[in-house]
């Protein structure tokens, strides 16, 4: 991993250069688009600070990044300046972080992890239908029961059956015997094509699925599967804290990956990232989008170029080295909390390479849950776990306060 850190002056120059390569609603004769700059009554473009604020300037200029710009097809030319920044950020994610070879992947900035996950399911469903004449009832999505609900949402939208694999109640590990049993059972019930979703960190626990064991088994029994990695939570931390892992495009079993920049990367909401090996986007090409040059391949349609610019800016203001240091700092802070919980004999789950701690609810006094905004695994009935996520805004003083209150309540 080696993308450069740029100083803020250079970042500003690059973004303004990209914006000036776009068509300009203020100075050019743009008659054909139902788009324009932001309302000038509210967002006046002559505010003096804007010349030093590339992201806000991009928001006001309002470029539309509709479509998928890593494809060789034609693209809307009006916003090609900032589309290049999006291509560069997709390159960093695919090549630098997830080891894809140059020109062997596609991707785009989606609205979030949910859209990126749905895009993957949509592509594989259509792939099985178009290439293998699959009927819908022959396709199933396999995932662990700790998987994010966006996968169940996708199954509902795409009319696909699901197979949820149990996990161990304490260490949250996906059960291989249950996987074997359920695949066998579904095979006998007529399922022939599988979309497998593995987590590079689950939402509630930060647990990471055993990709090597799962793939070894799937390859051994020789079933037809496509593997999608949900790295919406872990994608911007796990590859930086774990030098050796199998959740990348260097692993031939992996077909696609979802990321969220609006979680750990601290980008604004609306910045999910979808990455997939080349030659798969065609299965969701919407040819009917004929007025869009290059047509459309995404779920979302029109989307803000400013979001892509923002992710590009954050990645370059840290560089790969700076980002790695920042993620290790979160891990260290999380470890300090875990040591204090150990001293208090409080039971919890934590993946040592991630920054989520899920505490068994019986150890969590309700007043602290409320005071520190801990999140339960369910709001429907009795929670078994409450999680804390050590995000960049979490100060050591707040953690110290939490631990000392927990200790006092435990002794009282």
Ligand X SMILES: Cc1ncc(COP(=O)(O)O)c(C=O)c1O
User: Which chain residues interact with ligand X by CB under 6 A?
Assistant: 112-114, 117, 148, 150, 199, 202-203, 230, 232-233, 260, 272
Start-to-end Cα distance in the chain: 50
**385-389 sheet: strands from edge to edge:** 348-349, 356-360, 385-389, 375-376
- Beta carbon of residue 120, minimum distance to ligand X (angstroms, whole number): 11
Q: Which residues pair with 105 in a beta bridge?
A: 277
For ligand X, the closer CB: 232 or 357? 232
- Beta carbon of residue 262, minimum distance to ligand X (angstroms, whole number): 6
For ligand X, the closer CB: 22 or 114? 114
Closest CA to 141 of 153, 132, 131: 153
Enter the tokens of residue 270.
């609306």
Enter the tokens of residue 287.
């040819």
The residue number whose beta carbon is nearest to ligand X equals: 113
For ligand X, the closer CB: 100 or 198? 198
The torsion of the CA quartet 229, 233, 235, 239, rounded to 10 degrees, works out to -110
- Beta carbon of residue 230, minimum distance to ligand X (angstroms, whole number): 5
* Residue whose entry in the numeric block shows the structure tokens 């792939």: 127
- Report CA-CA distances (Å) from 323 to 90, 310, 315, 326, 327: 17, 15, 8, 5, 6
In the 8-state DSSP scheme, what is residue 200? Answer: B
For ligand X, the closer CB: 95 or 115? 115
For ligand X, the closer CB: 83 or 144? 144
- Beta carbon of residue 8, minimum distance to ligand X (angstroms, whole number): 27
The beta strands (E) that lie in 40-192 are given as: 105-110, 139-144, 161-165
For ligand X, the closer CB: 75 or 228? 228
How many CA atoms lie less than 13 Å away from 116 in the CB half-sphere? 31
Which residues does 364 contact at the CB level (< 8 Å), separation at least 6?
A: 374, 386
- Beta carbon of residue 117, minimum distance to ligand X (angstroms, whole number): 6
For ligand X, the closer CB: 148 or 248? 148
């Amino acid at each position: 991993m080696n993308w450069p850190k740029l100083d803020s002056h250079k970042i500003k120059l690059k973004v303004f250069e990209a914006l000036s390569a776009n068509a300009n609603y203020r100075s050019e004769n743009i008659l054909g688009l139902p788009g324009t700059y932001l309302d000038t009554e509210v967002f006046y473009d002559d505010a003096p600070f804007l010349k030093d604020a590339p992201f806000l300037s991009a928001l006001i200029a309002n470029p539309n990044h509709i479509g998928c710009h890593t494809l060789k097809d034609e693209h809307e030319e009006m916003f090609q300046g900032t589309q290049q920044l999006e291509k560069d950020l997709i390159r960093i994610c695919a090549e630098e972080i997830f080891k894809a070879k140059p020109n062997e992947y596609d991707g785009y900035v989606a609205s979030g992890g949910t859209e990126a996950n749905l895009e993957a399911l949509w592509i594989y469903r259509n792939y099985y239908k178009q290439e293998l004449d699959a009927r819908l009832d022959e396709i199933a999505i396999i995932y662990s029961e700790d998987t994010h609900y966006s996968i169940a949402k996708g199954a509902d939208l795409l009319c696909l059956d699901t197979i949820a694999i149990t996990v161990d109640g304490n260490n949250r590990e996906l059960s291989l015997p249950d996987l074997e049993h359920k695949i066998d059972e579904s095979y006998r019930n007529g399922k022939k094509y599988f979309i497998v979703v593995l987590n590079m960190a689950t939402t509630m626990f930060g647990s990471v699925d055993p990709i090597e064991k799962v793939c070894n088994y799937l390859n051994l029994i020789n079933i037809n599967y496509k593997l999608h990695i949900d790295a919406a939570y872990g994608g911007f931390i796990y590859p930086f804290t774990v030098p050796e892992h199998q959740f990348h495009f260097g692993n031939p079993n992996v077909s696609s990956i979802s990321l969220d920049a609006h979680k750990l990367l601290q980008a604004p909401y609306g910045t999910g990232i979808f990455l997939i090996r080349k030659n798969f986007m065609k299965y969701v090409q919407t040819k009917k989008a004929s007025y869009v040059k290059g047509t459309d391949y995404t779920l979302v349609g029109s989307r803000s170029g400013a979001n892509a610019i923002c992710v590009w800016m954050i990645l370059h203001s840290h560089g790969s080295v700076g980002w790695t240091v920042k993620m290790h700092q979160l891990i260290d802070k999380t470890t300090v909390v875990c040591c204090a919980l150990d001293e208090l004999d409080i039971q919890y789950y934590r993946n040592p390479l991630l920054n989520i701690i899920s505490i068994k609810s019986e150890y969590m006094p309700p007043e602290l849950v409320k005071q520190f905004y801990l999140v339960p695994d369910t709001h429907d009935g009795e929670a078994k776990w409450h999680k804390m996520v050590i995000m960049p805004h979490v100060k050591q003083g707040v953690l110290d306060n939490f631990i000392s209150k927990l200790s006092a309540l435990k002794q009282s």
